Copies of this chain bind each other. A is one copy, B any other.
């Protein structure tokens, strides 16, 4: 690591308490919980996070899990200023603190901030600068979409929002590119025309996906989950751009409402 980390991904274990209602592992409750945590130690930061920024400097979601005794809250922070308040809030809660996810009461468990083999596939830390400098252009990148993901694509003739529920390269990579450009240091931004051209020369080579609904308070929101392999362009510069964006997906998330549970995404290693 040469640059100071400005990208963090945490997996926070939450254990349902008592005999209240079971936590519903979707929805806006996760965002409220995250903002509550931060508010406790840094009201000013919390205020800034609430503000309706174009591209929020964090993502919050619930990881899919087969276990019923634990909810895995996933938080990523995309600005180094957020790290201290968030960790402080977690430390203040430990041990035995109680949190709320919707109607459910939860106890804070482990907080995992490191990647495998010690940590968790959805945890890690990095920096925009290191990620950019370190990347090796790949022939193929495989992305896992773990929570409902949808890409906004303007409006239909009838005025309704047009959502893309298929992970086409020309939807996914420009979405990542826009978010990277919104949040990365100025000197590391990508030429969006180049990102679009690279995505147009990318093919989907394998996939297993399905549409799903996520509850966000105002009724269900559609998205897709699953695994998609992209065969990147032969051109090494194009491949490098898209590989960088694939690596950054762990922190950035993909598509709409990544602060409210949608668009959890990571590049899978060759080992899975």
Residues of A at under 8 Å CB distance from B?
156-158, 162-168, 201, 203-211, 222, 224, 233-235
Contacts and interface: CB of A to CB of B under 8 A. Distances in A.
B165 A167 contact: no
The 9 closest A-B pairs by CB, nearest first: A208-B210, A158-B234, A206-B211, A165-B204, A166-B166, A207-B211, A157-B201, A166-B204, A166-B168
Nearest to A156: B201
Copy number in the complex reads 2
A165 B207 contact: yes
Contact of A207 (B156, B206, B210): B210
A101 B226 CA distance: 35
Given A158-B234, A166-B166, A204 B208 contact: no
A224 B210 CA distance: 13
11 contacts: A157-B235, A158-B233, A162-B203, A163-B203, A164-B204, A165-B204, A166-B207, A168-B168, A205-B211, A207-B211, A208-B209
A166 B167 contact: yes
B210 A209 contact: yes
Contact of A157 (B166, B207, B234): B234
Given A166-B166, A166-B168, A167-B166, A222 B234 contact: no
A209 to B, nearest CB: 6
